[in-house]
Structure 1
Amino acid sequence: MSNRAHNLADETQAQAEAQARMQALDAEVPAFMEVFTSLAIPSLIQKAAHEFLGKFPPERRLGMASALSWANPFYLPEMSDEVVKSLSVNANMIAELTMRAKLTASRAPQLNVLLACAPKSASTFIAGALQTALGLPSAALFASTPRIRAVSQMGGNLREQEPEELALIRNGLNGAGYVAQHHSRCTPYLSLMLKTYNVRPIVTHRNLFDTFVSLDDMIMGYRSDNVSEGLYFSDGLPANYGKLEQEDRLTILVQRNTAWFIQFYVSWKKCERAGLVKPLWVSYEKDFLADKQGLAERVIKHLGLDPDSAAKLLVAFEDKTDGAAKRLNKGVAGRGRAMPDSVRAIIERTAHYYRDEEDLSPLLNG
């Protein structure tokens, strides 16, 4: 074989090896992103990104740094002032790119679903069923991170969960659609955002007395043997919550949350009456517990899908496996009947203030 032939063979082999290395690196990206998305300590974010970017050739690093910044809202690559200046943008560039992104997201042919949910209304279960039956990914719409679990891991659970525009745009560009599950009150502003980005809302609610008993039960699952201030940004409760008597625990929950739960329900009703939004209403008692088939059919119709999809959704509704991950607690109605009278009185008194705003019987009577 001639020298030229040897050189060509060596070059071909080198190219193949380089391509194989790049393929192996690309295969690492999803697993790395899964971890990187949830990092919240600046030093760890920079260290992980620096080490990962170092594996890629220089020509790939800017693109990968962009992907990392898109995945973690707190990551900015370490660059010299000169490089930063060469990458800088001005207001006109931002305005044009934002317009392009908004137009693209608003016209994207994908199904976007917001499950606006009162806590403990089977929303996690319903969201999971929708994702399974319709093949849709989950999305976080109130933070610049791909998934809601990352918000929790970053200590963001106490944030209000009203969807914001950047998150609506980024998820509206994913080419797949999504199911977002958030404790979001409605406003005229949010109604316009949902309309702009073609998001179909489903609103879930539950009897308040049952809700608080179920909420306490869920919290005690991780608080009963844990006296820790480290959980504060997860649920906002005092460190000794798990050591308190039930009446005291329920009193804390009810004093803190009753007005918000009522505002949640009233806000969606007011926006609906004003013609600003057209949600599908889902009752925990009447729909989720009593008529899953009817619920599946109503959901599919609301989403504008083929009626045959209702059968797949019903199968997902009936699947009780992995109940802990789906936050399927007792799955019954009437748990609040044994609530202490002192706690019940707080709920009833707070609801009384809203008596002229909305019929709250679905929250008080089931």
Structure 2
Amino acid sequence: MRTIALEPDMAKVRVLADEFIRSVPPQQALGVAAALNFANPFYLPTMDDASASRLRIDLDQFCELVMRARLTASRARQPNILVACAPKSASTFIAGALSTALGIPQVSLATPTLSAYSGSVLGANLREQETDDMALLRNGLSGAGYVAQHHIRCTPFLARQIALYGIKPIVTVRNIFDTLVSLDDMLREWRQVEVPGNPVFFDDGMPAIFTGLDDEARFEMLTDATCVWYVKFLLTWQKCEAAGMIKPLWVSYEDDFVADKARLGARIAEFVGLEEADAERIAMCFADTSKGTSLRLNKGVAGRGDKIPAKTRERIVAICRRYAGEGDLRPLLGKELVA
């Protein structure tokens, strides 16, 4: 299962999966084929038209199955946690620590894949990380619960999904200047080796020239690519909360994650509200930075945004100021907030 879930070469997947199906007793073949399709959503077993016709379902059957799946998932008694995050807000680290502390898997709610990493391998990184209904159902039916981590703006539609499936949203935010410096570090690190055709474009959307630019040009490019998205991310969650659609737990990189991990652990434990959510264990997992690199914890400090050139800082503030009447922009701008 894991092998084909992490294999982007579909020709290889078909060979491996089809061979495996042929190796099992005929009465088990359909169940095995379904499991393999569950592992890789792009795999379908090789068969003739007559065999495929015998397995077809009509729209009425599909509607009933979806309704039953939604009904079951909506009533499941399992911990479902969404870490909705501004980029570089320690969200990968927080999600990983929660998965460890609570003993529940990390999943993707944006792709119907076996794991969050599988979605990346299959080429989903540059997509908007909107929730996928099939992913919500398959993970909502697991019985284990999950932690999902996504760069996702809130909408009334998402708020309804959160309510329907009993999802606990934790929203992580960070000063935008510090964010851009940390993002720049990450992009330059994984672009150290130039590869013909710029294949990592499908991971970050940056042109091949990015690492060769000077600091000012890179930060200007990052501002163009991300600034408005960051503002809308913050405001959509604030507006949906103000409208009573959601009740998220807000986590500030500076005031919570960096300042007091023990207090953050206690807040999350209370918010999740599970017997398994032990505040001390969560705080202990937050304090353990031994796997920080793999969990994208860069420096783990605040105040790095001071290195952004003054011209770019002024431009960022000007962009944010356009939205000043829409919500509280202090989590993004801090001391540089201009009302």
2:242 to 270, 273, 286: 273
Deviations 1:229-278 (A, max 9, x none): 11110111111222221221111111110000110000000000000000
Inter-CA distance 59–307: structure 2 relative to 1 (3 Å threshold) = closer
Partner amino acid, structure 2, of 1:357? E
Deviation at 1:44, TM superposition (A): 2.0
Deviations 1:312-344 (A, max 9, x none): 101101101122111110011010012112221
How far apart, in 2, do the equivalents of 1:221 and 1:322 lie? 17
Say if 1:108 and 1:175, in contact at 8 Å, map to a contact too: yes
How far apart, in 2, do the equivalents of 1:141 and 1:219 lie? 24
**Equivalent residue runs for 1:1-366 within 5 Å:** 33-228=1-196, 229-306=198-275, 309-365=278-334
Max Rg structure = 1
Deviation at 1:346, TM superposition (A): 2.3
Say if 2:88 and 2:182, in contact at 8 Å, map to a contact too: yes
Q: Which moved more, 1:110-119 or 1:48-57?
A: 48-57
Q: Which moved more, 1:204-213 or 1:340-349?
A: 340-349
Deviation at 1:178, TM superposition (A): 0.2
Deviation at 1:152, TM superposition (A): 1.2
Say if 1:140 and 1:147, in contact at 8 Å, map to a contact too: yes
Say if 2:101 and 2:277, in contact at 8 Å, map to a contact too: no
Deviation at 1:225, TM superposition (A): 3.2
Deviation at 1:55, TM superposition (A): 2.3
Deviations 1:40-85 (A, max 9, x none): 3331221121222232222222111101111111111111111111
Partner amino acid, structure 2, of 1:321? S
How far apart, in 2, do the equivalents of 1:112 and 1:307 lie? 13
Inter-CA distance 104–277: structure 2 relative to 1 (3 Å threshold) = same
TM-score by length of 1: 0.89
Q: Which residue in 2 is equivalent to 1:15?
A: none
Partner amino acid, structure 2, of 1:290? A
Deviations 1:103-162 (A, max 9, x none): 111111100000000000000110011011100101110111121211111111111112
Partner amino acid, structure 2, of 1:341? A
Aligned length: 334
Say if 1:225 and 1:242, in contact at 8 Å, map to a contact too: no
How far apart, in 2, do the equivalents of 1:130 and 1:311 lie? 12
Q: Which moved more, 1:250-259 or 1:220-229?
A: 220-229
Say if 1:139 and 1:147, in contact at 8 Å, map to a contact too: yes
Deviations 1:152-193 (A, max 9, x none): 111111111121221111100111000000001000000000
Partner amino acid, structure 2, of 1:34? R
How far apart, in 2, do the equivalents of 1:357 and 1:146 lie? 39
SS of residue in 2 equivalent to 1:180: strand
Deviation at 1:227, TM superposition (A): 4.6
Inter-CA distance 63–308: structure 2 relative to 1 (3 Å threshold) = closer
How far apart, in 1, do the equivalents of 2:44 and 2:240 lie? 39
Partner amino acid, structure 1, of 2:254? E
SS of residue in 1 equivalent to 2:148: strand
SS of residue in 2 equivalent to 1:238: coil
What's the C-alpha RMSD, in Å, of the aligned pairs? 1.3
Q: Which moved more, 1:206-215 or 1:56-65?
A: 56-65
Deviations 1:184-230 (A, max 9, x none): 10000000001001100000000000000000001111113325411
How far apart, in 1, do the equivalents of 2:213 and 2:12 lie? 37
Structure 2 unaligned segments of length 5 or more: list them: none
Partner amino acid, structure 2, of 1:59? Q
TM-score by length of 2: 0.96
Say if 2:84 and 2:151, in contact at 8 Å, map to a contact too: yes
Say if 1:210 and 1:335, in contact at 8 Å, map to a contact too: yes
